[in-house]
Structure 1
């Protein structure tokens, strides 16, 4: 089983680390607040390090807000070469909450791949609310993580961990599909903010 580094200790970082730990992966938690990193690491049986320390995971999950990507690239650009980098981000314009901040023909994941040419970027988890990863279900349907990426081996490595953690995976194809995934993620957030769906619910995928 591959090892995983989760950068970020918010709801999504905590949920993803929990799923990966259930799947038997060794987990490293990285955050600027070392106390929060240590707290989450204790919960998932992992290790904790401060942002800027060496990354130990074969798979690196960026459970961060969109503006933080620039700092990740600046700090870890060379170290991420050859690694599977999982982009969880929905680049929402939180000033207006009326759209995405990336160009209409691009995505946060595509921008990240350009900034990290040596990494294998996979879009995943951005269409899931954290609560559905913890519970493993959405309205009685098993939680499905939709992934997109150009490297099939990278997607398979991530899928192995997620599946072992009890979550279903659906492969949407190449990284160009990240644009659609980010739009779906944004729409789901809008519905939750407008109280049309609960933060414990959201979109489900049924085969």
Structure 2
């Protein structure tokens, strides 16, 4: 399968590594190179403020695609709140901007280091929680990562993205305050 990733930073590279380990072909895009055609799965490994402009610029190319939002819409000035309404999420906002796409929320509760190593805190397998309204899209996402070291769990409908973003926010604030390391975080033990 082919995967398109917007963003070449730590998260984009770590996510791409796992899709590559699973046997997929990964293409990266940033503001230096324009994507002419996009794969069936497109990962938005960009800061939250970039989602709206990318959705506008690539609306036609995103049509019919699975678009994976990894953002945590954190107020980076204060590190004290999320910047989306309490009854919504960045992923739900993106779905409204891309009505002809299927938006999934994933990767936002993991750090790049845990995606690179496949482990949280060096012991627990890194778990990626995915939320979305289309079960077939979630299955395609899970299948695309089947050969990676990651554990993929279905977190429910897209409205669960709000809880995923709150969890990602909490994990980031713990790491930023040096109470946990960037190689740690929340893990799921089965």
User: What does residue 83 of structure 1 align with?
Assistant: 65
| TM-score, normalised with respect to structure 2 | 0.97
Alignment size in residue pairs: 189
Deviates more, 1:153-162 or 1:197-206: 153-162
In structure 2, the residue corresponding to 1:66 is in which secondary structure?
coil
The answer to whether the 8 A contact 1:113-1:119 is kept is yes
Query: Which blocks of at least 5 consecutive residues in structure 2 are unaligned?
Result: none
How far off its partner does 1:83 sit? Answer: 0.2
Residue 150 of structure 1: aligned partner: 133
Alpha-carbon RMSD: 0.8
Shift of residue 167 of structure 1? 0.6
2:161 corresponds to: 178
After superposition, what is the alpha-carbon deviation per residue over 1:122-142, rounded to whole angstroms, capped at 9, x for unaligned?
A: 000000000001100112011
Q: Report runs of 4+ in structure 1 exceeding 4 Å deviation.
A: none
Distance, in Å, in 2 between the alignment partners of 1:187 and 1:201 is 13
> How far apart in 2 are the matches of 1:156 and 1:55?
23
TM-score, normalised with respect to structure 1: 0.89
1:38 equivalent in structure 2 = none
User: Unaligned regions of 5+ residues in structure 1, if any?
Assistant: 34-49
Cα shift at 1:201: 0.7
What SS does the corresponding residue of 2:130 show, helix, strand or coil?
A: strand
Which digits, 9 at most, give the CA deviation of each residue in 1:36-85, with x for residues without a partner?
xxxxxxxxxxxxxx13x313311000000011012101110111011000
Show CA shifts across 1:5-49 (max 9, x none).
Answer: 00000110000000000000011111123xxxxxxxxxxxxxxxx
